[in-house]
Structure formats: structure tokens, C-alpha cells
Amino acid sequence: MIRDLLLGLRLAVGGGRISGQALLRLAMTTLGVALVVAVLLPAASINTLVSEQDAREAAQVPQVEPRPGVDPLYRLDWFIDGGDDYLRAVVVAPDGPNAPVPPGLDRIPAPGEVVVSPAAADYLASPAGEPARARIGGTVVGEVGKAGLGLASDRVVYVGDTAERLKGEDYTTPVYGFGAEPDGLALDITTAAFVAPVAVVLLLPLLIFVTTASRMGAAQRERRLAALRLLGVSGRQVRRIAAAESLVGAVAGLVLGGALFLALRPLIGHLDLFGMRFFPEDFVPSWPLVVVIALLVPGLAVGAAIFGLRRTIVEPLGVVRQGKPARRRMWWRWSVAALGGLLMAGTLLADERSNATPVGLALAAGSSLLLIGVAALLPWAVEKLVAGLRGGTPAWQLAVRRLQLESGTASRVVSGLVIVLAGAILIQTLVGAVSATESEGSRWQAATPVAAQVVGDDEQVDEAASLLAGTDGITAVHEVVAAPLRAAGDGSGWHGQVLIGDCAALASRAELGTCADGDVFSVGALRESSGLAMPEPGARVRFYSYGGDGEQTDGPQWTLPAEVRQVPADQAAREVSSILLVTPGALGGVTPSDAERVLYVTGTGAPARVFEAASLAVGPLSWEVDVRPALAVSDSSRLDETTRTMRGMLLVASIFVLAVAALSLLMLSIEQIVERRRPLAALSAAGVPLSVLARGSLWQNAIPVAIGVVLAVVAGIGITLPTLRYAGLSLSLDAGLIGIVCGAAVLAVLAATALTLPLLRQVTRLDGLRAE
Amino acid sequence: MTEPLLAGRDLHKSFGPTEALRGADVAVRAGEVLAVMGPSGSGKSTLLHCLAGIVRPDSGSIRYQGRDLVEMSDGERSALRRTDFGFVFQFGQLVPELTCLENVALPLRLGGAKRKPAEARARQWLERLEVGDLGDRRPGDVSGGQGQRVAVARALVSDPKVVFADEPTGALDSLNGEKVMRLLTDAARGAGAAVVLVTHEPRVAAHSDREIVVRDGRVKDLELAA
């Protein structure tokens, strides 16, 4: 047996006399296996990646239970919104020498000292980080180590302060230690529902590529095996030799894939995915999965080679192919597709926007199974459809007859394209739907829009107002009071918010028209999406507040005036939709119980610059006030960036997979031309123009692709609809995009056909006629 | 003496350092069956390829109905092969994915004929060559002898002036070879087509009207000299 395997290995490398086709097969198998391995190894590392991050984050969880002999470390989480980005600052102050040191820090920073993570340092050094830099102040004395971060992209700043200042703050917690049990891996079902089909989209074409590559040059190999049979090699030995031949490319691919993974791993630290960067050293594949990959992927290549011989009887005097191909087993193909379809259809029984785990799992499994099922059914669909094709030009006839004779291989190759198309439709539609939903809502802005909101305690708000007044670029600072309000009664009715301010302040949030003290305005629909109606004019409502335990405490009652003016939602800022705008005179002396003072800052120039000016102005107050950009300013740019990142990634993945599928198609075309060089040369000798043969080749590639594209669009929309329903998104099919992706598939066919033309030209020369 | 239908004069052709033809003269008269004989590697197949316009000789001339094939472009020669010439090779010339009927009809379809009349005519030729019942089968499903008869039908279906046959029975047993040769020559004579038959077997050459022998790339056709 070892001798057979060694002979196979020797035949594969050819002792320096390797033929061009065998070399191409070896190179393609190696490349295909390497790509599969290079994709699978990072996937096999996700478990380690998540658990490492989980363990570090768990080690950072503060423990607030007092411990004997340990002094408390006062800690205040301070979330700094930098306009375009966020930064997490932790203000710390030890109340004794034995206070615990947070993970990732060498020591607790003293007042005026700052310790920053690498990502935070980069951000603070950039122009965008200027407002945050002004607010944090202090001197940077160190770097937060990996133990203090979850991801490499975490922007964390530890700011030293005095215990006296922190003790009096509402949100300060005394910490006596750090560390908690990791939560363990919790699979996010919604993520799984989106990620599972993406993984199928990426992997299946690669696996198809590997099987196609390992079966390349089959005819030549079979003739060589027949020669070995003549020398007394048995049929079983022939299979072992063939397996060993394929093993060379598979093992070479495994090594190359591993090397690719190791070489590219350091670059992962520079890869920015939706603002997330990972530690490259966290990408360590788990050993059981590495063993599975090392056995499974080469096994697939070898299995494909042996499977390819199943209908071929290698005899000493040549190769015999069984006349009638084995009947295609349909049961499993239909079963996979039907199971996928049933799972997807089953989710339609669940409530819309249902976040139930079984629904998510059913979607993840259903969409993956449906994609695989469609790919598995494609050969059957192509066979059935081409069986009915008749007539046409000689080129068309050559293609159709060829497909009627054997369409399975072409269909298998095309199924890679189908999966890409269907998957791209799913992902792009999801991205489009998310973007459309996120960008829903009013885009109304006052002539001088609110650029920043400053929130804080009474004393700090007063100080902030005086700091803002007279700042260059800031034209007005309006003060409003925000308070929670609900319908009077048992608390089961409408809950909302009220904004109390003078007409000028309220006019910066909505188009009020005429306004006088004593007026009340209701913004948006009278009935909320929850179905609860907003209070009618004259209705009794009650202010309330939240206790430390989250319990509601009733405040004073208030009766709405007889006239409440309606402001359409599209004539108010998005964030004030469905709330009441109240001038102080309308309250009749009632004081809300849980009021939050907010300063609306407006100014000249771009809102981002006004926000920057406001942040710089209130810098001296550091963490004692919260400065936020107006929602309309920040959200749209963040969403655009996320959408751009997603589209960019999808485009790269689509092009990669399309290129792989096109390469498979090219290999198949080369294979078929080489196998048919004799009749092609004879046809050419008889005067058949090359263009007829080339068009035949084009049709032969194009027919399965056309059928595949139709199936892909149907399957893509089919798996998209239930997923959108699950996520509560509305369908917004991008016909242009589907056209572009389909066009890319057509381009792949044209490119694969065009690249075979030189070979076609070569085999139709005299050499092809003399080759035997 | 009438002008020959096809005449090659002083033909030279080399493949790298190998001189396949070193001054060959040959004439083919309308309707005659000419056997080109010679040992293996003597250059007889190269001579056939030159005469058929498949390859261009390095020097010399090939005149067909008053036109010099050497001067023609590749496209013109392809068109000529499609309309005026037919071909039968030793094996592997039928398109495996097409049925035998479609294979025979293919030259007519390429000439612009509609499918139905082309296939009707192809069926007549298959019957004439005694393989009328094979029309719906693919080449891979018929025997070697039957396949060669289908190839002969395809070569003759477009009423060529000349049929080039390169070792047409080389892959057949003697009985089948004999039958194919009889059918080929009878059908060609019946259609008024000349046949240029390359063979090294005297038994096959016996079906010809005239023989010439190629040795070391040289041949002197006495007909041409006359």
C-alpha cells in the first residue's frame, strides 16, 4: 500500500518531467486548498478570540463588596462623545495605599495624570480628538496594557483625580477589587442568522474550486493509470495511486494555507471592522478544529479525485467510461432545500420582529440549507432545462448538446456563482434595509441647528452656561428642562417626556410658528407605534422620577391646557418626536420631580465645529458635565461609515468568491477543450471557423450561468424576506445592485471563455490533428 | 489533357529542422480517386494538409480551379474547405456531443442551411452509407466502422469537389475497412467528387484509380508532368 502511495506521489511530481496540465492541476489544487485553509483557520480562531476577550473583560469587572485590608478605589465612568467617535474615560482616585490597581495599569494615576490605551492615544493625537483632549486635560504618564482592554480598538483613558472630588458624585462607585467569572460563550442568535449564510457563501465556492481542481486533467491521468494497469497494477491499487497523486497538492495547499494564515495574522491588528480592531495574538485556532481542518480539507481533495473515478473503469488496454451516468440522487438535494424552505417558512408563523432564539436559529439554519439546496439542485435544474432545448445555430447546438451529454460539472462550478449571487442579494438587502430604517425619521433642522447639548447638575450647568457665553462661534445657549411624564392613573397608559423651555429654546427643536409663554406643543403622531395615544388636551398627567432601584416614584400631577398645538413630526428634530414641548407658563407653578437641565448650544459654521467649540469651552469642567453632539449631526456620519465598511467588505468578498468561481469555470473550459482537441481540430480542418467553436464554448458556459442567476435571484429574495421580517426591516431591493452582481457573473463567464481562446486556437491548428 | 482540378507544384514544408516536403508535385483530376502512398513519416499526411489548405507550404504553389491556395488568407482557405472540400480522418473527428445525424448535418448548417432540410439531406446520406438507423445515436455509442461511415457521410453531404481521406481505415479491422473504402469510393464517384486518399496499405489503395508514392518528402506525379 505504501508503495502505491509513493508511486502516486512520484507520478504527481513527475520527477521533473511533469506535464503542463498536471502542473496546472497541482498548482490549482494547492491554491484552492490553501485558500480554504486560510479562510477556515481564522474561523477556527473565533472561539479563542471571543473567549480571550471575554476573559480580559471579566477580569476588569469591578468588585464593590468591601474587603478587609483593602482601601476603596473610587471610580467614575465617563463616556466622552467626541462627535465623530466615542471614548471611555474612567476617573479613578484611591482612598488609601491599599486600593486595587485596575487591570492593564502599572499604578493608579495621580490627580492630573492620565493613562491611555494605544487606540485612545491615536485618537487624542488626531484633530478629531481635540475636544476630548481639551476635556480630559492632564498629563499622559502611561499606556493601558492588553489586560485592561477587550479589543485592540478600545479607546480607554484612566484619569487620576482626588478621592474628595469623586466621593460626592452620584455615579461614583467604591471598588475593592477586579475580576469576575467570564460569562462564557453566548452565541448571539441574530448574528448567527446573518453570519451563517455569509460563511456558506464564502466557503462553498472554495470547496467547489478544490474539487474541480483536483479532478482537472482526469482523462490524461486515467490514460496513465491504464498504462500502469497494463504493467499489472490492480484496480484497487489504481485508486490508491490516484489518491496519493491528489494528496500532494492537498498537503502543499495545507502548508501554504497555514503559512498564509501566519503571514497575514499580524495584519489583522490593522484591520478595522466597523471600528473594531482585534489583537492578532488572540487569533489562535483551537487545536481540535485545526486537526479537523488538516484532515478534512486534504480529504476532500483526495475524495473528489477518487469520486471522479467512480464511473471510470481503468483497464490495461485503456479507459472505459460507463455508458449511462449513474442516476442523480435527488432525495437528499430536495431534502436539504425543502428543510431549508420549511425552516424559513416556519419563521413566518412567529411574530414580526420576534427576537426569539428558535426563530433566529431557524433562520440561520434555514438560509444556509436553502443556499446549499439551491446549489445542489442546480445540476438537476440545468439538466432538465437543457433537455428541452432544440434548434438554434451550430454554435448553440454544440453547446446545448454538450450540456445535454454532461452538464453536471459545469453546474457544480456555476453553483459557486449562484451562492455568491444569492448571498450578495441577502447581505446587500439587509444592509440597505438597515440603512433605510436608520435614516428614517425627520431631517428637520432649525435655521441655526442645535450642535451640542450640555447636561449636568445645577451648579455645573450654570458654570457651563457662563463658560459657553461669549465663546467664539457660539451664538446662543438655550436652556430647557427635560422630565419624564405619564398619563395619570395606574401607570399602564402613555409614558413620555416633556421639554420645558422658553419659545426661543423650543423653536430650536421644532417649527412652532407663533409661540407665547403658556403654549404647549405635541410633536408627531397622536398615537405612538406602541398603540398608546398621547394625552388629549385637558387630560391629567403626572410627573414621575426613578429611584436608585429603578422603581418609579410619583411626582406632582399636571393638567394639560385646553389647547395643545400639534407639530408634524417632519417639522421637528427627530429626537423630539412624540414628546410634549411646554413653555414654563403652561405649568401653572407645577415643578417636575425629576428634571434634567439641558443646554442647547447653537452657533455659526458647521455643527461639528460648533460642537468642538462647546467641548473646548466647557473643558475645565471635565467629567462634571456631559457634552453630546446633536443626534442629527453624529448619527448620519456614523451610519454612513458603517454602511460603507459593510459594502466595501461585501464587495471584496464578492469579487474574491467570483474570481474563485471564474477560475473554476476557466479550469473546466480548459479541461473540456483539451479532452476534445481531436474533434475540434478535425472541425477546424473542415473549415469550421474558430468563432463558431468559441461561441459554442461561450454558450456552454453561459446557459448554466443564466439558469443559475435566475435561481440565485429567486433564492436570494426567498431567504432575504423572512430574515428582514425577523429583524423588523422593510424590503428595499436594490435592482441596480442585483444588476451589477449579475453583470459581474456574466463578466466572469466572458472572461473565462475569452481566456480559453488561445488554447482553442492552439488545438484547432494542425498540431491538434497530429496529436494522436 | 484537361487542366487538373487541384495541383500542387514544387511544394516544400518544414516543421522546425524536419523537412516534411522537399519538392512535391501532385495533380488531382475531377472525380478521380488518387491514392497517396508511402511509408510512415514520408510526408504524405503533410502533403494532404497542404493540398487541403489546412497548412500553408513554405514554398511552391497549389492551384484549385484557377486560384492559388497559397495566396489565400486563412479565412478564405477555411471557407473553401467548408464549401468545396470534405474530410475523413483516421478517428476522433466526430463531435462527441452531437448525434450522428447532427454531425452529418453540421457542414450544411454552417453553410447557412435551415436545420430541417439540412437534417433531411443528412439522413439521406446516412442511409446511402448504410447507417441510416444510427441518426439519433451519439458517436460514442456506435462502433468504429459505423463512426467512419458517418464521417464519410459528413464529408460528402455538402457536395464537395474533393474529399481528403487521411488513413480512413487505419483504426478499423480489415472487414470494416474494406466496407468503408467501398462505400467511400462508390459514394464519391456517384457524387462526382475526387478523393485524395492517404494510406500505406496497398489493399486500401486498390480502391483508387491512380497511385502516387511519397518518399522522403518528394513525389513526382506523372500526370502533372504530362
Q: How many CB atoms lie within 10 A of CB A728?
A: 13
* 8 Å CB contact of B81 and A405: no
Rounded to the nearest 5 degrees, what angle is found at the Cα of A315, between the Cα atoms of A312 and A320?
Answer: 40
The answer to whether B163 touches B195, Cβ cutoff 8 Å, is yes
Is the same domain home to A238 and A214?
yes
Instruction: Name every chain A residue with its beta carbon within 8 A of the beta carbon of B158.
Output: none
**Is B96 in contact with A689 (Cβ distance < 8 A)?**
no
Q: Say how many C-beta atoms besides its own lie within 10 A of residue A256's C-beta.
A: 17
A320 within a domain of the structure (yes/no): yes
- CB contact B59 to A (< 8 Å): no
CA distance A333 to chain B (A): 27
Interface residue B107 vs chain A (CB under 8 A): yes
One domain, residues A485 and A623? yes
Q: Residue A440: is its pLDDT beyond 60? A: no
Distance from CA of B49 to the nearest CA of A (A): 8
pLDDT at position A690: 87
Q: What is the interface size between A and B, counted as CB pairs within 8 Å?
A: 82
pLDDT bracket for residue A662 (50, 70, 90): confident
Q: Is B142's Cβ below 8 Å from some Cβ in A?
A: no
* Contact status of B109 with chain A (Cβ, < 8 Å): yes
Work out the pLDDT band at A472, boundaries 50, 70, 90. confident
Mean pLDDT of all residues belonging to chain A: 78
Write the residue in B77, B83, B87 that is nearest to A682 by C-beta.
B87
**A391 and A517 together in one domain:** no
What phi-psi label fits residue B38: left (phi over 0), alpha (psi between -120 and 50 degrees) or beta?
A: left
Residues A616 and A758 in one domain: no
A132-144 exposure pattern, b = at least 16 Cβ within 10 A, e = fewer: bbbbbebebbeeb
Cα A292-A650-A661 angle, rounded to 5 deg: 60
- Low-confidence winner among A121-135, A644-658, B17-31 (lowest mean pLDDT): A644-658
pLDDT of res. A677: 81
Highest average pLDDT, of A82-96, A426-440, B43-57, comes from: B43-57
- Do residues A42 and A216 touch, judged by C-beta distance below 8 A? no
Question: Residue B22 has what pLDDT?
Answer: 92
Q: Identify the three-state secondary structure at position A77.
A: strand
Average pLDDT over residues A490-498: 74
Give the pTM.
0.65
Same domain? For A588 and A678 the reply is no
Judged by CB atoms closer than 8 Å, whether chains meet at B49 and A769 is answered as yes
The whole-number pLDDT of residue A709 equals 81
User: From the candidates B110, B138, B152, B154, which should be mutated to test the interface with A, based on the most A CB atoms within 10 A?
Assistant: B110
> Which pLDDT band, with edges at 50, 70 and 90, does A665 fall under?
confident
Lowest mean pLDDT across A24-33, A121-130, A460-469, B208-217: A24-33
Residues counted in chain A: 772
Asked if B208 reaches chain A (Cβ–Cβ under 8 Å), the answer is: no
Q: Give me the residues paired with residue A141 across strands.
A: none
CA distance B202 to chain A (A): 23
Is B194 or A86 the better-scoring residue by pLDDT?
B194
Contact status of B86 with chain A (Cβ, < 8 Å): yes
Show me where the domains of chain B are located.
6-225
- C-alpha cell belonging to residue A449: 441647528
Nearest to B81 among A398, A687, A770 (CB): A687
Please, what is the Cα angle at A558 between A556 and A560, to 5 degrees? 165
Using the predicted structure, report yes or no on whether residue A353 has a pLDDT greater than 60.
no
Q: Convert the pLDDT of each residue in A174-192 to its tens digit.
A: 899 888 877 665 545 555 6
Contacts of A394 in chain B (CB under 8 A): 106, 109-110
Contact between chains at A678 and B92 (C-beta distance less than 8 A): yes
Q: What per-residue confidence (pLDDT) applies to A528?
A: 52
Q: Would you state the pLDDT for residue A771? A: 40
Band (B209; pLDDT cuts 50, 70, 90): very high
Interface test with A, best of B95, B99, B109 (most A CBs within 10 A): B95
Helix segments in B19-113, DSSP class H:
44-51, 74-84, 100-110
Helix residue spans in A388-519 (DSSP H): 394-405, 408-438, 458-468, 503-507
Cell numbers placing A183: 460569562
pLDDT of residue A475 exceeding 80:
yes
What's the half-sphere exposure (Cβ side, CA atoms, 13 Å) at A142? 17
> Where residue A546 falls among pLDDT bands split at 50, 70, 90?
confident
pLDDT tens, position by position, B78-137: 888 888 999 988 877 888 878 899 899 988 888 888 889 999 999 999 998 889 999 999
- In this predicted structure, the answer to whether residue A632 has a pLDDT above a threshold of 60 is no
Tell me, yes or no, whether A658 and A767 share the same domain.
yes
A548 pLDDT higher than 70: no
How do residues A146-183 score in pLDDT, each as one tens digit?
Answer: 999 988 888 999 999 888 888 877 778 889 988 887 76
Residues A27 and A128 in one domain: no
Residue B167 at interface with chain A, using a CB cutoff of 8 Å? no
Task: Give the model's confidence band at A311: pLDDT under 50 very low, under 70 low, under 90 confident, else very high.
Answer: low
| Count of domains forming chain A | 4
Query: In terms of domains, do A548 and A498 share one?
Result: yes
A83-97, A105-119, A251-265, B192-206: least confidently modelled range? A83-97
**Which DSSP symbol is given to A326?**
P
Q: Average pLDDT, whole number, for chain B? A: 88
Domain-located, residue A369 = no
Domain's final residue, options A154, A178, A202: A178
Chain B CA closest to residue A679: B93
CATH superfamily, domain B6-225, is P-loop containing nucleotide triphosphate hydrolases (3.40.50.300)
Pairwise CB contact (< 8 Å): A687 & B79: yes
- A553 pLDDT band, cuts 50/70/90, is confident
Distance from CA of A669 to the nearest CA of B (A): 15
| Residue A367 lies inside a defined structural domain of this protein | no
Residues A248 and A387 in one domain: no
Which residue in chain B is spatially nearest to A393 when comparing CA positions?
B109
> What is the Cα–Cα distance from A578 to A563, expressed in whole angstroms?
17
Given this model, what pLDDT does residue A243 score? 78
- Any idea of the CA torsion for A293, A37, A753, A306, to the nearest 10 degrees? -30
Q: Quick one: A96 and A127 in the same domain?
A: yes
Yes or no: say if A339 and A369 are a contact pair by the CB < 8 Å rule.
yes
Q: Is the pLDDT of residue A319 over 60?
A: no
> How many Cβ atoms sit within 10 Å of the Cβ of residue A726?
25
Together in a domain, A126 and A146: yes
Tell whether A723 is covered by a domain: yes
Establish if A564 belongs to a structural domain: yes
Measured between beta carbons, which residues in chain B are less than 8 angstroms from residue A687? 77-83, 85, 110
- Which residues of chain A have a Cβ shorter than 8 Å from any chain B Cβ? 323, 391, 393-394, 397-398, 401-402, 404-405, 676, 678-679, 682-689, 692, 766, 769-770, 772
pLDDT digits (tens, 9 = 90+) for A586-619: 888 888 877 788 888 888 877 777 888 888 887 7
How many other C-beta atoms are found inside a 10 Å radius of the C-beta of residue A747?
Answer: 12
Domain that holds residue A15: 1-61+193-326
Out of B49, B96, B109, name the one closest to residue A676 (CB): B96
**Same domain flag for A683 and A755:** yes
Q: Which residue has the higher pLDDT, A330 or B11?
A: B11
Confidence of residue A633 (pLDDT cuts 50, 70, 90): very low
